[in-house]
Homo-oligomer: A and B are copies of this chain.
Amino acid sequence: MNIYDVSRRAGVSIATVSRVLNGNPNVSEKTRSKVLAVMDELEYTPNVFARGLGLGTMKTIGIMCSDSSDPYLAGAIYHLERQLRSHGYDSLLCCTGPSLENKRTYFELLLSKRVDAVILAGSKFVELIDKNNQYIMEAAKELPIMLVNGYLNSPGIYSTVCNDYEAMYSAAARLINAGRRNILYLYTSHSYSGLNKVEGYKNALTDHNIPVRREYIHQCAKDLNESRKLIEKLSGLGLEFDAVMASDDSLAVGAVKFAREKNIKIPDQLAVIGYNNSILSDCTDPEISSIDTKVKQLCTITVDTLMRVFDGGNVPAKTIVAAEFIQKQTTNFSI
């Protein structure tokens, strides 16, 4: 069942059938409807491979991420996929694994699939040392590269990011204004957004004349138990803190668990602020105040931007989305 069968049955040439298939206006209404009728009758489906060969594209976008089961990334992938599909594009998913092993190998595998663009979801993707991103920049000469929640200043690379710096800054300021002075800061990675967040925290302290102390800033695996254990350990070492800020909700959950275990009152004795406003932050009791990073909006903008790049439009290399502080119980100060 191919284009010849249709052309034969409809009594036209394959070129005409192809024109109908591609919505070419140079087909008389009569011919078009006859061809469509035959296609319908024969249940004809064009062969996408042949089409891809001829057109050089199969309207497919590669989506890369580390671990797609992470709540944040899972949301991103869902919205990206739906958004892309609404524009007629398919999504080829590629997960490298939590540690981004073989990141480059997978990236090139995706390119070899002749996708029309690659979306790198999650800020972990872009190395902080420029040299390691060379292959991404190289690829960007051939096809658009979209970063969701990451940034790389290079032609052909487009970023959609959250104002992480401002979000963390004002969240920290909020705690400081509530009288907190010893704010523990936990983060998961040294990614672009990770750095912005910690900078926001630090500057908020500095601007309020609070010294930034090394022992209040710690890296932690993205796991609630790791976080709980780390906080417990720090507390055991005598570190005193009246608030915890985390670069990811899962770490904040650990903080809440720690507090419950030690009978520490939230938020009076310990305030907690998470990040991403994922479902995790609603599971705990008290519910965790968190920063909504507007994943859906981020994804919509990413896809819209990509479509404009395809259309050859003039497109900003970086779009910033405003995060929103979601006030819940862990910062519901009575004062």
Determine the distance from Cα of A90 to Cα of B113 in the docked complex, in whole angstroms. Answer: 9
For A67, give the chain B residue with the smallest CB separation.
B78
Q: Which of A266-305 contact B (CB under 8 A)?
A: 279-280, 282-285
Given A49-B49, A78-B95, verify A279-B280 contact (CB < 8 Å): yes
What is the minimal beta-carbon distance from A276 to any residue of chain B, in angstroms? 12
**A256–B285 CB distance below 8 A:** yes
Indicate if A94 sits at the interface (CB-CB under 8 A).
Answer: yes
Indicate if A68 sits at the interface (CB-CB under 8 A).
Answer: yes
**B282–A285 CB distance below 8 A:** no
Determine the distance from Cα of A81 to Cα of B97 in the docked complex, in whole angstroms. Answer: 10
Chain B positions within 8 Å of A285 at CB level: 256-257, 260, 284-285
Determine the distance from Cα of A146 to Cα of B50 in the docked complex, in whole angstroms. Answer: 27
The interface bits of chain A over 145-168 (1 if a CB of B lies within 8 angstroms of the residue's CB, else 0) are: 000000000000000000000000
Chain B positions within 8 Å of A224 at CB level: 279, 282-283
**B47–A49 CB distance below 8 A:** no
Indicate if A52 sits at the interface (CB-CB under 8 A).
Answer: yes
Determine the distance from Cα of A60 to Cα of B91 in the docked complex, in whole angstroms. Answer: 12
For A79, give the chain B residue with the smallest CB separation.
B69
Report, nearest first, the 5 A-B pairs whose CB atoms are least far apart.
Answer: A49-B52, A74-B74, A283-B283, A69-B78, A49-B53
7 contacts between A and B (CB under 8 A): A48-B112, A68-B68, A68-B77, A69-B75, A82-B97, A85-B95, A260-B285
A69-B74, A224-B279 given. 5 additional CB < 8 A pairs? A47-B114, A49-B53, A69-B75, A85-B95, A284-B284
